[in-house]
Amino acid sequence: RIILISHRPLASGGWVSIYEDITEQRRAEQDLKEQHRRFDAALANMSQGLLMYDADGKMIVRNGRFLELYNVTAADFPLGTTHRDALERLLELGIYTKIDVDSEVAKTEACRRAGKMHSTYRHLADGRTILVVRQPMSGGGWVATFDDVT
């Protein structure tokens, strides 16, 4: 058992001692740390690139494989980047050459609202083909995976 002991002085010169059993709280904290460690290991060892967006369309997770597939840096795609900004950045960098950003954002949003998966092939300027699969998440947002299928 883990007991937290707090002592507080009283104005009258005495003390109040509080004993609190925090065993379950600590166990929950350790379980959460282990869950994060496993999640990080899974992201780092995936063969696919992965981006996760929240319900507002902002990137909240990005793995290293995504950066490798597109030969970009984390600074190019910081967390908080919107889906629209990510597509525009890929155009600016010359990685995507033919893409209608407005149409792609609208398709993704429509599929997210309908709760349906959406997949598409992206032909990159370097000749590679990437399969992009977007899967809505409960509570809003979506996960996008990227796989080189050249």
pLDDT in tens, 89-99: 999 999 998 89
pLDDT of residue 64: 94
pLDDT of residue 92: 94
Q: What is the pLDDT of residues 35-55, one digit of tens each?
A: 888 877 777 788 899 999 999
pLDDT of residue 29: 87
pLDDT beneath 70, residues of the chain: none
Contacting residues for 120 by C-beta, under 8 A, at least 6 apart = 131, 132
pLDDT of residue 139: 85
> What is the share, in percent, of the chain residues with pLDDT greater than 90?
63
SS3 45: helix
Pick the CATH number of 47-150 from 3.30.70.260, 3.30.450.20, 2.60.40.10, 3.30.559.10: 3.30.450.20
C-alpha radius of gyration, the chain, whole number: 23
Q: What is the pLDDT of residues 122-131, one digit of tens each?
A: 999 999 999 9
pTM comes to: 0.77
Domain limits, the chain: 1-45, 47-150
pLDDT of residue 37: 84
Q: List the beta strands (DSSP E) in 49-138.
A: 49-53, 59-62, 118-123, 129-136
Helices 83-92 and 101-114 cross at an angle (nearest 10°) of 150
| C-alpha to C-alpha distance for 140 and 100, rounded to whole angstroms | 24
